[in-house]
Structure 1
Amino acid sequence: MPGEERPRGEKLKVRAQDRPNFRRNKPERTTHRHGLAEDITNPWKNGVRVKPRGSKRKAHQEEGEEEDGITDNLSKKILREAQAQQAEVEAEAVGEAAALVGAAIDVSGRSVVAAAKKKMDSDDDSDFDDDYSDSGSQWDMEEVEVTEEDEKALAAFMRPSSSTQRTLADIIMEKIRAKQEEGGMAEGALPGEDGLPVVAPRLDPKVLQVYQGVGKLLTRYTTGKVPKAFKIIPKLSNWEEVLFITEPENWSVHACYQATRIFVSSLNSKMAQRFLALVLLPRIRWDIRENKRLHFALFQAMRKAAYKPGAFYKGLLLPLCVEGDCTLREAVIFAAVLKRVSIPVLHSAAALMRIAEMEYAGTNSFFVLQLLDKKYALPYRVVDAMVDHFVRFERDERELPVIWHQSLLTFVQRYKNEIRAEDKAALRSLCKRQQHYQVTPEVFRELDNSRSRGERGEGASAME
């Protein structure tokens, strides 16, 4: 009873009807009235979330961009408009340069504007692709040392220096004088008192002013883009006259390299040959003569010229051999270029035969040695021409230079199986008269331990 004291140790007894029923307060368990497949196929009917929840980080970034006032889409639009404006500015610059030149010059049936757009737009990005540093480094002759004894040995086979070498200015002046004699040009076409080359009166004065300014820029050019007005010169029919206005003899060495790239790639083989012979070759020889070495930019220009093999041989190498006054230093440098470039066999075979048949100069052996050392499969006609080239020195009383003996040994080593039996007998007779204590025994050994042309054995590597 309430109020009564319960003895210690006696448990409190609670009736079942007085106990709280906790199960009645729990919610009843619900069962799915549909399967998982229906949730997947029709999620929106069963209250399943279809759209993913938005990322708080992404929302925060969008809020930050909106506060700054520039979104990604707006940035893309601004960049697109800037590029379009830059393209319009470049097109206007090309049009202005083309308009100046197109008023007076014909571009072989095409307008200067079309030539400028085709050439300028494709070369803008390649102007920075130089193969040399801008620090003005020079290429040193590390492979062959030039000594006074070598120069004296070769001096006996060198012709005396000829008159001043013809340059582009000489060619232009000859054309001007020829037109003056015909009565087609006024006397004022020759250079004036101020020294400016007034060579083409039919050109607009604005054209002369533009290219005189281009010439002044090229005198201090080191790196970067070349003026667009200069790039369209190879597309002009009278490109020699326009190029003369820029005064190529005053260009920097880096400008010579860029000009060689542009003209060799744009002109055909015959016109590229004229550019190399009238502009690049005189500048190379002058640089070697003044500095006793060749600037690396000009060395790279010679390598670029080899992309037109016919123009390279006819515009650089063969004129140097024909003059007969090539110095030892020049021969070593040109031979180094030959060693580093890859030239097709037909062009090299024709050049080798031409050098073998021309009047001998001591430095020619440097070029012969490098061409033979390339191991071309030479035609039999060239092999026979080389045999005649060496045999004609049998009765020469002069002491032949060491480079001549080295070129003979290289020829016998490379083409001993393509030499006829009678030619080998002639070479043995030659070696008995023209001897070198180290080289000649090797030549005899190669001739004695090889088969001749036409004999049975492995197929010859030469071509008919």
Structure 2
Amino acid sequence: MGKITVSETKGKQRHNPLLKDISSISGDLKTTSKSKKSKKVEKEEPDFLDAKTSRKILQLAKEQQGEIEEEEGIVEESRPSFLESFKNVESEEEDEDEDDEQYSDFEEEEELFEEEIEVNEQDAEMFEKYFASSNNDGFGGSINLADKIMAKIQEKEIMKQQPERQVEGVRLPPKVIAAYEKIGQILASYRHGKLPKLFKVLPSLKNWEDVLYVTNPEKWTPHAVYEATKLFVSNLQANDAQRFIENVLLERFRACIEDTEDHSVNYHIYRALKKSLYKPGAFFKGFLFPLVDSHCSVREATIAASVLTKVSIPALHSSAALAQLAERDFNPATTVFIRVLIEKKYALPYQTLDALVFYFMRFRKAGGEHQESMMEQDDDEEINKSLPPLPVVWHKAFLAFAQRYKNDITDDQRDFLLETVRQRFHHSIGPEIRRELLAGTPRIQSEPVKDAVMINAF
């Protein structure tokens, strides 16, 4: 038997579909869909019951309820009516309100009880610090002015209660002293590199002198002295820089010369002196004048004066310093500084020039005694022997003044200076001073003083 191909079966069907066969036979089966049938049923059902059927349902329910009550032995008269049940509900609500009021009263009593509790001071401080930090977090908190004042008072009381450490008259918190003692140990072995940040902050502190004393500047290395001088002189005002130069730099300068065998100064200390001239007024008041007033040796004066020769100084500062030095008592160290400042060849005001003229005139014999002696004896050597000799430094300073300012003195001043040369004659320097004074053209004595610069004393 051969196989049926697809082409043969395509054209004709083997049998009728089942739906057609069922519909051709008479029966109860309908061809409508279930959804349509359900819709029709829903439409046929009424939305509500009529009064008759509802009365029957209620009657049946009542009879069933009565039978149940008879079985359980419940008397119908003992059951509360609807009004009574409503009243009971209201009474229950009133009881609940009374309970709420009692609970609220209990809360109030509890709050009063909490207010009367004594809180520990430490716990209260912790509580206040916590809420103060939470207010400052930026979440809408605000601080009252009274709270700030009370907080400041509490901080002061706490600082008073904390034990402060005292180091030879310096009263600072113990943490500050411990930190800067370590800084002092670092500076005691410092050679190169950056300074500690805690040390760089010192010029900005109000009590920087007390904190600086803790670091023990006497044990600093010369390298640290140089770096500290740069830091303090550049960042402090002139008055504060003067105190640093006098208390630190001057002491280290003198100690360095005394401790060395050849009485020389360390290279870094010498560089620190140069840096201190960044503020000339602080240098003169904090280093030069205290050095001169404290029995300065010629060696110290020579080393310090060499710094002045290598650094440029404003003319007004140098003229004021000359005027101050000329008013001091005679000292070879003072004369060294006068000579160095004169040799800088600044245009000095007449006020300073007059002070220098009176300084050199101070060393001659004044009055009639000198005139009588001049009439009796004409030998300058005998006059010179009657007066105590002066060091060569003084004669060199006199010569430098005559060479530079011979045209800025009056005729009277030149005559007095020539007389001083005659009395304080030096065999090699005296003739040069006399020649310079005679070669000059003196200024007119009646010249207006308005060109002179009035210098205030330091």
Equivalent residue number for residue 270 of structure 2: 299
Residue 318 (structure 1) aligned to one of 286, 289, 294:
289
User: What does residue range 243-392 of structure 1 map to in structure 2 within 5 Å?
Assistant: 243-291=212-260, 292-323=263-294, 325-392=295-362
Q: Write the distance in 1 (CA, Å) between the matches of 2:207 and 2:253.
A: 24
Q: Write the distance in 2 (CA, Å) between the matches of 1:389 and 1:375.
A: 18
Q: 1:240 to 1:455 in 2, by over 3 A?
A: closer
1:217 counterpart = 2:186: yes
Instruction: Report if aligned partners of 2:364, 2:423 keep a CA contact under 8 Å in 1.
Output: yes
Instruction: Report if aligned partners of 1:377, 1:462 keep a CA contact under 8 Å in 2.
Output: no
Equivalent residue number for residue 25 of structure 1: none
Equivalent residue number for residue 209 of structure 2: 240
Q: CA deviation at 1:414?
A: 0.5
User: What does residue range 60-75 of structure 1 map to in structure 2 within 5 Å?
Assistant: none
Decide which structure has greater helix share.
2
Q: CA deviation at 1:430?
A: 0.5
Q: Write the distance in 2 (CA, Å) between the matches of 1:305 and 1:189.
A: 33
User: What does residue range 12-161 of structure 1 map to in structure 2 within 5 Å?
Assistant: none
Residue 205 (structure 1) aligned to one of 160, 174, 193:
174
1:416 counterpart = 2:399: no
Q: CA deviation at 1:329?
A: 1.1
Aligned residue identity for 2:323: M
Q: Write the distance in 1 (CA, Å) between the matches of 2:207 and 2:303.
A: 33
Instruction: Report if aligned partners of 1:199, 1:245 keep a CA contact under 8 Å in 2.
Output: no
Q: 1:450 to 1:234 in 2, by over 3 A?
A: same
Instruction: Report if aligned partners of 1:199, 1:241 keep a CA contact under 8 Å in 2.
Output: no
Q: Write the distance in 2 (CA, Å) between the matches of 1:214 and 1:456.
A: 63
Q: Write the distance in 1 (CA, Å) between the matches of 2:180 and 2:336.
A: 40
Q: 1:231 to 1:421 in 2, by over 3 A?
A: same
Q: 1:383 to 1:205 in 2, by over 3 A?
A: same
Q: Write the distance in 2 (CA, Å) between the matches of 1:370 and 1:357.
A: 17
Q: 1:210 to 1:187 in 2, by over 3 A?
A: closer
Q: CA deviation at 1:187?
A: 12
1:432 counterpart = 2:422: yes
Q: CA deviation at 1:331?
A: 1.0
Q: CA deviation at 1:204?
A: 2.7
Q: Write the distance in 1 (CA, Å) between the matches of 2:226 and 2:264.
A: 17
User: What does residue range 175-194 of structure 1 map to in structure 2 within 5 Å?
Assistant: none
Q: CA deviation at 1:439?
A: 0.7
Q: Write the distance in 1 (CA, Å) between the matches of 2:405 and 2:286.
A: 28
Residues 297-347 of structure 1 deviation map (CA, whole Å, 9 limit, x = unaligned):
000000000000100110111111122x11121011011001001110111
Q: 1:295 to 1:327 in 2, by over 3 A?
A: same
The share of aligned pairs that are identical, in percent, is 42
Paired positions, count: 271
Q: Write the distance in 1 (CA, Å) between the matches of 2:411 and 2:335.
A: 24
Instruction: Report if aligned partners of 2:319, 2:348 keep a CA contact under 8 Å in 1.
Output: yes
Q: Write the distance in 2 (CA, Å) between the matches of 1:439 and 1:456.
A: 32
Q: CA deviation at 1:456?
A: 12
Instruction: Report if aligned partners of 2:351, 2:452 keep a CA contact under 8 Å in 1.
Output: no
Instruction: Report if aligned partners of 2:164, 2:174 keep a CA contact under 8 Å in 1.
Output: no
SS of 1:398's equivalent in the other structure is coil
SS of 2:406's equivalent in the other structure is helix
SS of 1:417's equivalent in the other structure is coil
TM-score (norm 2): 0.56
Q: CA deviation at 1:205?
A: 1.8
Q: Write the distance in 2 (CA, Å) between the matches of 1:200 and 1:319.
A: 24
RMSD, aligned α-carbons: 2.5
Q: CA deviation at 1:397?
A: 2.6
Q: Write the distance in 1 (CA, Å) between the matches of 2:162 and 2:361.
A: 56
Q: CA deviation at 1:362?
A: 1.1
Q: 1:356 to 1:272 in 2, by over 3 A?
A: same
Instruction: Report if aligned partners of 2:165, 2:173 keep a CA contact under 8 Å in 1.
Output: no
Q: CA deviation at 1:206?
A: 1.6
Q: 1:279 to 1:185 in 2, by over 3 A?
A: farther
Q: Write the distance in 2 (CA, Å) between the matches of 1:453 and 1:206.
A: 67
Residue 195 (structure 2) aligned to one of 222, 226, 251:
226
Q: Write the distance in 2 (CA, Å) between the matches of 1:185 and 1:384.
A: 62
Q: CA deviation at 1:463?
A: 5.7
Q: Write the distance in 2 (CA, Å) between the matches of 1:375 and 1:185.
A: 62
Q: 1:350 to 1:393 in 2, by over 3 A?
A: same
Residues 429-459 of structure 1 deviation map (CA, whole Å, 9 limit, x = unaligned):
10111011111101111111111112899xx
Q: CA deviation at 1:198?
A: 5.6
Q: Write the distance in 2 (CA, Å) between the matches of 1:232 and 1:430.
A: 55
Return the structure number with greater relative CO, CA threshold 8 A, min gap 6. 1
Residues 375-417 of structure 1 deviation map (CA, whole Å, 9 limit, x = unaligned):
1110001000000001111139321000100000000110011
Aligned residue identity for 1:260: T
Q: Write the distance in 1 (CA, Å) between the matches of 2:161 and 2:271.
A: 40
Residues 155-185 of structure 1 deviation map (CA, whole Å, 9 limit, x = unaligned):
xxxxxxxxxxxxxxxxxxxxxxxxxxxxx99
Instruction: Report if aligned partners of 1:287, 1:293 keep a CA contact under 8 Å in 2.
Output: yes
Gaps of at least 5 residues in structure 1 are: 1-183, 191-196
Instruction: Report if aligned partners of 1:405, 1:439 keep a CA contact under 8 Å in 2.
Output: yes
Q: Write the distance in 2 (CA, Å) between the matches of 1:198 and 1:408.
A: 48
Q: Write the distance in 2 (CA, Å) between the matches of 1:189 and 1:211.
A: 13
Q: Write the distance in 2 (CA, Å) between the matches of 1:337 and 1:285.
A: 15
Instruction: Report if aligned partners of 2:165, 2:174 keep a CA contact under 8 Å in 1.
Output: no
Gaps of at least 5 residues in structure 2 are: 1-159, 366-385
